[in-house]
Amino acid sequence: MKIITTPDARLREKSERVFQIDDEVLQTIADMRKLSLDWEKQHPYELSAAMAAPQMGVNKRIIIIRDDMEDKKNATFTALINPEIIKAEGKIKTDYEGCLSVPSIYGMVPRATKVRVKAKLEDGTEVRIKATDELARTLLHEIDHLDGILFIDHIKDKENAFYKMNEKGDLEPVKDYEKEIKNNQSLWS
């Protein structure tokens, strides 16, 4: 298994509901956790906050969310099966987002600051989550993946909206976004 990246068409497909939490689903979740942490090891300045099953080519409505987004040493994730947004509300805040499947590019993405989500855990327990700020942003980002939407799709004003990480781990503005888009046209297809 590997993390797929743009322009892989599977990233643009709508994912299928999970009707039974069986060994295949549990293995998918285990693979997602492993791939997420493997990616993180290769990116010393970044934290793998979450991942969606379509990012490894599995067309199922499954996401994983890191339990502690502040501590890279805490490498545990909670899996959410068939997550649904019940309500997104609050102020719209524009902030940085990146994606395991959109390599090297970061963008300023507007998102609601509060979200309510319902889902099932690995053991089949139904949960309802009220999230704010960074957790809300992460849930919205990952649930978008399940509908074939990437964070770059939310960026309307492309001027001064894209960034790349330098060798020190700092984000620097992409000076010529039109050139960057041309070089990475597949991102926006």
Burial of 119 (0-12, 13-18, 19+ CB in 10 A): buried
- Two tokens, residue 63: 């996401």
- Residue the block writes with tokens 């990475």: 184
Residue type for 168, please? K
Write down the catalytic residue from 84, 89, 126, 142: 142
Residue 142 known to be catalytic:
yes
Contact 90, 112 (CB under 8 A): yes
Residue-wise over 45-73: b if at least 16 C-beta within 10 A, else e? Answer: eebbbbbbbbbbebebbbbbbbeeeeeee
Q: Tell me which residues are annotated as active site.
A: 142
